[in-house]
Amino acid sequence: TITFGNRQAAAFTPMPGVDHTKLADAAQLSSLADTTPEGRSVVALAARYGLVAPREEELSNPRFVEFTARTRMSGVNLTWPNGAGCAIRKGAATQIAEWVEQRGGSVPPEAAQWSAAVSVSGGTPLLVAVHDWDGPRVLGIIHLKDVVKEGVRERFEELRRMGIKTVMITGDNPLTAKA
């Protein structure tokens, strides 16, 4: 492999009109039950915003939604004693956009533009969305980064000088792979 394969949350980018802390809080809540390195790194990045991850018993009737390859998203549903609730999701941009639109919300054009910019830079974008009393909406983007192993470029150049053609096979989206 050419990377360490351990993507880490590097930045939260809120949509226009959304506070950084609100995005960080939603990203953290959507990642509390996510035991992957990516999920743990989202909680760690939220801590840098001064947020403390709540314990499950501190949440209001949480129902965690695990990531699956089919849904390509994870999150949490919270229900308060008065019956009001909130659903928070994070995941692949296309799936989160569809989730918001299926609930009657609209996705700001910045979501697709900024997701593409993260992909072109070699990162992986995750959208964060919420459906609460203000309706369904995208809050922002989590930028996941993977670190390329040191010396990989030089090793590939050496192989090419020897006449060996190198080919990269990836499961990343095409924009990320191109970067």
Predicted confidence (pLDDT) per residue in 2-53, tens digit: 766 778 999 999 999 999 999 999 999 999 988 888 999 999 999 999 999 8
Task: Assess contact for 138 and 18: CB atoms under 8 A.
Answer: no
Mean pLDDT of the chain: 89
Residue 97 has pLDDT above 80, yes or no: yes
pLDDT at 178: 58
Mean pLDDT of 150-168: 84
pLDDT confidence tier of residue 176, bands split at 50, 70 and 90: low
Task: Assess contact for 126 and 144: CB atoms under 8 A.
Answer: yes
Kindly report, residue by residue over 109-119, the tens digit of the pLDDT.
999 999 999 99
CATH number, span 8-178: 3.40.1110.10
Task: Assess contact for 99 and 89: CB atoms under 8 A.
Answer: yes
Q: Is the dihedral of CA 28, 138, 65, 63 positive or negative?
A: positive
Q: Is the dihedral of CA 103, 135, 32, 139 positive or negative?
A: positive
Angle 23-24-25 (CA atoms, 0-180°, nearest 5)? Answer: 90
pTM (two decimals): 0.82
Kindly report, residue by residue over 119-152, the tens digit of the pLDDT.
988 899 999 999 999 999 999 999 999 767 788 7
44, two tokens:
């760690």
